[in-house]
Structure 1
Amino acid sequence: MITGDASYIKKMNRSLILKEILKEGMLSRADVSKATALTRATVSGQVADLLDEELVVEKEIEYNLVGRKPIMLSVNAEAGYAIGIDLEFDQISFAISNLQGSLVQSETMKLQATSYPDILSLLIAQIKHYQEGFAASRYGIIGIVIAIHGLVSTDEVIHYIPSFDWHDVPLKNDLEKALGLEVKLENNANLSAFAERVFFHHETDDLLSVTLYSGIGMGMMINHSFFRGQDGFAGEIGHMIVVPGGQPCNCGNKGCWEKYASETSVFQILRANKPEAEITYEQIERWIKDKDPEVTSVMEQFMYYLSIGLNNIINIYNPEVVVLDSELLRIYPDSLRAIESNLNSRVSHYREIKLSTIGKKSCSLGACAIAIQNFLQVPVLNLPYKG
């Protein structure tokens, strides 16, 4: 036997047990044994360790039949807390979740400055505040994951954030030195994709999440893992050219997808066409309900160009599920049917296209979920969505 085999197997069994308890919320020891195919003796030994570590708690449930009340196991939600941070172009959103993935606190701060020293100081101060606030729990803050709206390399160095004009910024190292905690950086679209799989699409191996707000980003889950590309920059799908020689883009090309099929593109057109109006989601929804011909035409064009890009990525990746995250699509009646009516290729194959239920919170929730997965060392994380 190779030295270390026993400890490795024990670690794998522990991960399997935690995975099943998290997925179901509550399980008896007998149910854990069935779900994992582990012997009852193995389960009992592992559960004893988890109880000692306060990662699992026991609870008797109401039972109307004769006999002992079943003792159920659940992950101790209050044993530790994860911090998910969404570093957006005009604000920073903070989310704190317990170990079951439920949000316990959230906060958004508008940015007054975008210089690296200013934002670094803000992050350090706020994270230290959360460290103090949750220090009474057994494990305190168990992980910090930050969503970056830009290019993050495989070694978690920020290569470029367009909205801040940051280049090659060592945010991870600077935060870890200041806080004494491990910090993880991840692309925002990847975290949105992770949240969609963790909280909703538990049986999906291959999922694409397309976010359509300020630009277009795509997170790719392939066999439960991120597809990153050679340097970690895969997913910049907004810069796929859909109109050769079209509108100039900041990336240096012309005719990029996000110039035609992002929410920003819709808002820009409506501001130009209706200069007297304040363009908000609520106003657009009113125009849609009133069947305003100008707004209807803009929305149809938006979905047409969106369909062109979706056709391309579906043919490239052949995903099970494509999740679209867009408030405009959520307020437009039958938007998915309108989009799918443009996907007519006989060679395009996918199982379903869905609108995101989580919306803009998917990024910070995905960040919390990554922290939970890393802390509990669960290979595949499935959590119930509690809104």
Structure 2
Amino acid sequence: MPNGDAAYIKKLNRSLIISKIVEAGMISRAELSKVTALTKATISAQVASLLEEDIIIETQQDYSNVGRKPIMLSLNETAGYALGIDLDYGQISFTLSNLLGRPVSSDKVKIHDTNYSNILSVLVKKINEYKDKCLMSRYGLIGIAISIHGLVTTDEIIHYIPRLQWHEIALKEDLEAAVKVNVYLENNANLLAFAERAYTHHKSDNLVCITLRSGIGLGILINNKLSKGHDGYAGEIGHMIVQPNGELCACGNKGCWEKYASESSFLKNLSQRKQVRNMSFKHIEEELNRKDIETHQEMENFIHYLSIGLNNVINIYNPEILIIDSELLSRYPDSIQKIKSSLSSSISHYRELLISSTGKKAYELGACALVIKHFLEITMPNLVYSESTESSLLK
């Protein structure tokens, strides 16, 4: 066998072994051999290498039977840390996770302008602070992934961020030069899809995620890979026209979906209708609970247009799972059932329609999961997140 082939097979085996250890949480060498179908000799050699690198650790499992306690293998979750960043208009959010994707530190920084140099300085300062927090671990800060609310090219150049008015920005290159850590840039909707797969839907390799916040974005995961299109711009579903000759959109077209079914458009329309400024989701929830007629009418209109777009998405992608990221819908009783009742086409097929379970941290968590994937060199990490699992080890 050529040496190149042998090295490639060794790399594949390593990836498979790490994936199964992460998936199981704790697993013995014998069981690892069974689930991977690799020989005991291969398992022994790979495990020895991973132990030497501090990627995995050995522990003795409690054992009530007579005989030697089994030695269990698990990922060394404190060997390194991943930094996920959500770069949004007016605010940058940071989440640092261990190698199992559990957050160990979080922070938010308000930004008061859109100047690139100023925001780059904020990012560099905060990243260096997180680097210092990770110095005690074997691998330190293993990487950074940043959620971008705009268009990112396949070679990770920011093509355009509408709300920041950034065009052709080499943020990845500038950050890597400044902080000396690997940086990955990804569209926020793509990271939502990655977070849902990595943290929740471990058995689904094909899912579609829609975020309804400032605009509408689409993240597409097919066979565990993000589908980005030729230039990286796939998923700008908010600019699908749902109302011919409708409202003028900033993109230049009329009747775009996000003018009718994004949370920002809903808040704008309801605020104008009720003559209330700075309307919050909490206020809307209270209005819905007290059966306010105008609020309920606006919600019905919102769901009407949302369903039109969802019907198109379902017919185009035939997803196994369709996930919606929306704080508004999470506060509206029976919102999913109301949407399903509007999806009455006999040819629209999907298995599940859900509200995102990762909520506001979805983009940062997806970013952390992406960094972990690259560091461990695995196809997809199966992680677990809930607010109760958050640690404060690095405070």
Q: Please tell me the TM-score bracket, short chain as reference.
A: over 0.9
> After superposition, what is the alpha-carbon deviation per residue over 1:336-366, rounded to whole angstroms, capped at 9, x for unaligned?
1100101111111111111111012110000
CA distance in 2, matches of 1:325, 1:355: 6
> After superposition, what is the alpha-carbon deviation per residue over 1:131-169, rounded to whole angstroms, capped at 9, x for unaligned?
112111100010111111001011111110011111101
Does residue 109 of structure 2 align to residue 131 of structure 1? no
Provide the residue aligned with 2:68 in structure 1: 68
Alignment of 1:90-239 (within 5 A): 90-239=90-239
Check conservation: 1:188, 1:363, Cα contact below 8 A.
yes
Alignment of 1:317-332 (within 5 A): 317-332=317-332
Change (3 A) 1:369 1:169: same
Change (3 A) 1:276 1:222: closer
Does residue 366 of structure 2 align to residue 366 of structure 1? yes
Alignment of 1:276-355 (within 5 A): 276=276, 278-355=278-355
Alpha-carbon shift at residue 385 of structure 1 (Å)? 2.3
CA distance in 2, matches of 1:64, 1:358: 38
Query: What SS class does the counterpart of residue 78 from structure 1 fall into?
Result: coil
Deviation larger for 177-186 or 154-163:
177-186
Check conservation: 1:83, 1:97, Cα contact below 8 A.
yes
CA distance in 2, matches of 1:10, 1:89: 44
Provide the residue aligned with 1:17 in structure 2: 17
Provide the residue aligned with 1:259 in structure 2: 259
Provide the residue aligned with 1:32 in structure 2: 32
Change (3 A) 1:284 1:72: same
CA distance in 1, matches of 2:12, 2:226: 21
> After superposition, what is the alpha-carbon deviation per residue over 1:247-272, rounded to whole angstroms, capped at 9, x for unaligned?
11100011100111011111111211
Query: What SS class does the counterpart of residue 341 from structure 1 fall into?
Result: helix
Alpha-carbon shift at residue 277 of structure 1 (Å)? 6.2
CA distance in 2, matches of 1:95, 1:44: 35
CA distance in 1, matches of 2:279, 2:39: 61
CA distance in 1, matches of 2:379, 2:182: 19
Change (3 A) 1:276 1:310: closer
Instruction: Tell me the TM-score normalised to structure 2 length.
Output: 0.96
Check conservation: 1:323, 1:355, Cα contact below 8 A.
yes
Provide the residue aligned with 1:41 in structure 2: 41
> After superposition, what is the alpha-carbon deviation per residue over 1:168-188, rounded to whole angstroms, capped at 9, x for unaligned?
011111111112222111101
Q: Which amino acid aligns with 1:259?
A: K
Query: What SS class does the counterpart of residue 21 from structure 1 fall into?
Result: helix
Alpha-carbon shift at residue 4 of structure 1 (Å)? 1.5
Query: What SS class does the counterpart of residue 4 from structure 1 fall into?
Result: helix
Alpha-carbon shift at residue 244 of structure 1 (Å)? 0.5
Check conservation: 1:93, 1:108, Cα contact below 8 A.
yes
Number of residue pairs matched? 387
Alpha-carbon shift at residue 314 of structure 1 (Å)? 0.6
Deviation larger for 135-144 or 36-45:
36-45
CA RMSD of aligned residues (A): 1.1
> After superposition, what is the alpha-carbon deviation per residue over 1:12-63, rounded to whole angstroms, capped at 9, x for unaligned?
1111010011112111111211111111221111111111111101111222
Q: Which amino acid aligns with 1:272?
A: Q
Check conservation: 1:271, 1:277, Cα contact below 8 A.
yes
Alpha-carbon shift at residue 66 of structure 1 (Å)? 2.1
Q: List gaps (5 residues or longer) in structure 2.
A: 388-395
Check conservation: 1:62, 1:69, Cα contact below 8 A.
yes
Query: What SS class does the counterpart of residue 97 from structure 2 fall into?
Result: strand
Provide the residue aligned with 1:79 in structure 2: 79
Alpha-carbon shift at residue 2 of structure 1 (Å)? 2.5
Deviation larger for 67-76 or 111-120:
67-76
Alpha-carbon shift at residue 276 of structure 1 (Å)? 4.1
Alpha-carbon shift at residue 312 of structure 1 (Å)? 0.2
